[in-house]
Amino acid sequence: MTIKTGLFTINLGPLHPSTHGVFRLRATLDGEVVVDIEPVIGYLHRGIEKLAEGRTYKQNIPFTDRLDYLSSMSNNFAYVMAVEKMADVHVPERAEYLRVIMAELQRIASHLIAVGSLANDLGTFFTPFQYMFREREKIIDLFEMVCGQRLNYNYMRFGGVSHDIPDKFIPALKKFLKRMPRYIEDYDNLLAQNEILLARTKGIGILPPDKAINCSISGPTLRASGINWDIRKADPYSVYERFDFDIPLGENGDCYDRYRVRIHEMEQSLRIVEQAIEHLPGGSICERVPLRIRPPAGEVYSHIEAPKGELGFYLVSDGTERPYRFHIRAPSFINLTALREMTVGWKLADVIVIFGSIDVCLGEVDR
């Protein structure tokens, strides 16, 4: 007698420990094998894009903190660049270097959470999670020195930054830069060849290069599939063309490669920060810009390489102090579109690991 199993649908969520925010997956299974999967979003929708159209350009800076709230510095960076491009605002050289330092420290802090959370999602690695949060706290301490905040920084301004670095910042940063490579080595000793991590991530959730491109994937998820695309190199902004750094790439596009790319990106961010503080110029930290800036009528798109991928802002100005149109190209939202391609055919237990390897923040998915 042949035993046939029927398909059934279950909900993962709308809340799960592996998510940064409220998220639900509707999974259709044949036994434990995923036949179809549908992400259900919208639980965290706050209407930021519409709210921004009723506020001045400067009042919208704090809104950007609350997109990927694990990368607030990068969110500020992308938005102020878009307004500066539209209004033709000059940024002093010292401010550009400070922006790069903060953006790369933010990249490290974001990747620490991504890798630590992925290890925790495997169910057996709580120690690396604690180690990585320990190092992230050192970066948060540095941010607190500069702007007084530990999560939503509101640090960038049109034409520069809100505060110069205090005297104790550079010594504390150099101390961090000296110690961090050893910590990354500790992560490798704990994870890189761990047989449980290898069994759960090697060859799991493969995203082929052609599908990654067709889905407009960006960031570490794209580079893990072997695509050499990083906006800091492909379309340099700020002063990134002055720094020497490499773009880590994966080979197989699986969960393991996505983890390894982030580890190596942290090493490259350390290189950039070391070069930036070595050549940090003096001078002004912010250009004089009207409090209620009124860019000329027109439209602009500006993007950066945020920790999770391409973060872009599309703005339309009608010549007033408020944007006529305010739209965000959020990397987490775009990267999430490839989840079905990566999970169909795998077991239900693999879904959590695959989803965790994308490193999604629901704050910028729902907006």
pLDDT tens-digit profile of 295-314?
999 999 999 999 999 999 99
- Going by pLDDT thresholds of 50, 70 and 90, the confidence category of residue 193 is confident
Helix (H), strand (E) at residue 271: helix 255-278
User: In the prediction, which pLDDT does 297 show?
Assistant: 95
Residue 363 has pLDDT above 70, yes or no: yes
Token digits for 247?
A: 């773009």
Contact 302, 324 (CB under 8 A): no
Beta-strand relationship, 298-306 and 160-161: unpaired
- Average of per-residue pLDDT across 266-277: 96
The listed CATH number (3.40.630.30, 1.10.645.10, 2.40.50.140, 3.90.1170.50) that belongs to domain 8-366: 1.10.645.10
Helix, strand, coil in percent for the chain, rounding step 5: 50, 15, 35
Q: Residues, the chain, total?
A: 367
CA angle 126, 131, 135 (to 5 degrees): 145
- Going by pLDDT thresholds of 50, 70 and 90, the confidence category of residue 173 is very high
Give CA–CA dist 85/131, Å, rounded.
Answer: 40
User: In the prediction, which pLDDT does 16 show?
Assistant: 57
pTM of the prediction? Answer: 0.93
- Average of per-residue pLDDT across 206-232: 94
